[in-house]
């Protein structure tokens, strides 16, 4: 068989990917060009087109991709069994598979992945987040105390909302409080068909970079939904880093006058802040738990029960894989980066004191 053309295509894809990633990393003007002329128009089209589809096209796409991978593996096993006569077929299939993955990765970078090269929200918003704050127990304790007070304030007025209503309000709040309206059209989140699988893998939601859709685990407790929906919409708005998506969800949800959104955002960020405080100052963390209202404590018990029921090997391995994926895309803390919001959200609160009622700008 003639492999020359396939090798050339493979090498060309590698060169193109390397050049694009180098340019995005070294020359910010190319990132601005990408955002304005590639990502925003393409995401706008996807939001409009797939917004009319009631189910997740991305779920179907991933299902077909999974079936395709299984088919390829079966073919390779057959070729290995018949290696003497099928060595050429195996080599050709391997090269073709690598080319396919390289092409898909190029589509990923062009469709959304280049957003990983954007400046962090803390830099873009000029928040005062110092390195020493990350391990400063006094800063974490101060924020934890603030969040406990907020949870106690809003818990008596909290009311759960069904998924469709959460989605509708989140769309409204993004248009009202951020600059996404003119750039991206209406954001939209769908309930994933993989709900049971997501439970076992401990996944709350995900963004599909090929269809531009955001999906959430439909079995999430309702008190988690407003924050998670806002987080997934942040990915649709071009925020790639997980800690930044958490920060944007918190900034948006707490800017509204909606008790359900405020409470959910304070609760979710408290989980990160309290976990960090527990590692630094266990005694103080336990002391703060004693003054928490009964509703929040009951919801913590609900999450613990879910974790005990579904926290198995699958969630462990999926976390490892996702940790590797995040580190590959310039998030050095990997899956731990989610928790960095415990510091940046407190810096946002300090920033908000100086600039009340401001529009939330998204890079």
Six-digit token pair at 207?
A: 């963004």
**Distance, CA of 36 to CA of 40 (rounded, Å):** 6
Put the strands of the sheet holding 214-216 in their side by side order. Answer: 189-191, 214-216, 205-207
pLDDT at 11 over 50: yes
Six-digit token pair at 311?
A: 């926290």
Give the CA distances from residue 349 to residues 210, 247, 251, in Å, rounded to whole numbers and listed in that order: 34, 11, 8
Give the CA distances from residue 153 to residues 40, 145, 345, in Å, rounded to whole numbers and listed in that order: 39, 12, 19
Please tell me which residue, 216 or 306, carries the higher pLDDT value.
216
* Selection from 241, 209, 211, 215 nearest residue 228 by Cα: 215
Place of tokens 């509708």: 168
Summarised one tens digit per residue, pLDDT across range 242-255 is 999 999 999 999 99
* Selection from 194, 202, 257, 205 nearest residue 227 by Cα: 205
pLDDT at 171 over 60: yes
Summarised one tens digit per residue, pLDDT across range 323-352 is 454 455 554 554 454 568 888 999 999 888
Summarised one tens digit per residue, pLDDT across range 247-302 is 999 999 999 999 999 999 999 999 988 888 888 888 998 999 999 999 999 999 99
185: left (phi over 0), alpha (psi -120 to 50) or beta: left
Q: Is 39 exposed, middle or buried (0-12, 13-18, 19+ CB in 10 A)?
A: buried
pLDDT band for position 322 (cuts 50, 70, 90)? very low
pLDDT of residue 201: 82
């Amino acid at each position: 068989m003639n492999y020359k053309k396939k090798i050339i295509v493979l090498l060309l894809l590698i060169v193109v990917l390397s050049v694009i990633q180098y340019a995005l990393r070294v020359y910010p003007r190319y990132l601005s060009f990408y955002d304005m002329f590639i990502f925003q128009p393409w995401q706008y089209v996807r939001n409009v087109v797939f917004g009319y589809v009631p189910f997740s096209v991305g779920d179907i796409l991933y299902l077909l991709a999974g079936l395709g991978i299984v088919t390829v593996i079966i073919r390779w096993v057959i070729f290995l069994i018949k290696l003497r006569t099928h060595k050429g077929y195996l080599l050709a299939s391997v090269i073709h598979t690598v080319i396919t993955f390289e092409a898909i990765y190029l589509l990923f970078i062009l469709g959304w992945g280049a957003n990983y090269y954007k400046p962090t929200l803390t830099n873009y918003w000029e928040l005062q987040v110092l390195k020493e704050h990350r391990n400063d127990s006094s800063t974490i304790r101060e924020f934890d105390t603030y969040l406990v007070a907020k949870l106690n304030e809003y818990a008596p007025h909290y009311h759960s909302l069904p998924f469709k209503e959460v989605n509708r309000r989140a769309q409204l709040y993004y248009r009202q409080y951020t600059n996404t309206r003119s750039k991206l059209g209406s954001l939209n989140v769908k309930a994933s068909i993989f709900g049971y699988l997501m439970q076992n893998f401990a996944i709350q939601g995900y963004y599909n970079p090929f269809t531009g859709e955001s999906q959430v685990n439909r079995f999430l407790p309702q008190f988690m939904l407003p924050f998670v929906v806002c987080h997934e919409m942040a990915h649709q708005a071009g925020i790639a880093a997980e800690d930044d998506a958490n920060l944007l969800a918190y900034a948006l949800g707490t800017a509204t006058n909606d008790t359900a959104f405020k409470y959910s955002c304070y609760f979710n960020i408290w989980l990160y802040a309290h976990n960090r405080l527990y590692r630094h100052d266990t005694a103080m963390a336990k002391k703060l738990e004693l003054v928490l209202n009964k509703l929040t404590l009951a919801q913590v018990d609900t999450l613990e029960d879910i974790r005990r029921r579904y926290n198995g090997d699958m969630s462990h391995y999926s976390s490892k894989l996702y940790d590797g994926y995040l580190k590959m895309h310039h998030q050095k803390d990997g899956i731990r980066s989610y928790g960095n919001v415990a510091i940046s959200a407190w810096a946002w609160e300090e920033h908000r004191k100086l600039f009340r009622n401001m529009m939330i700008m998204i890079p």
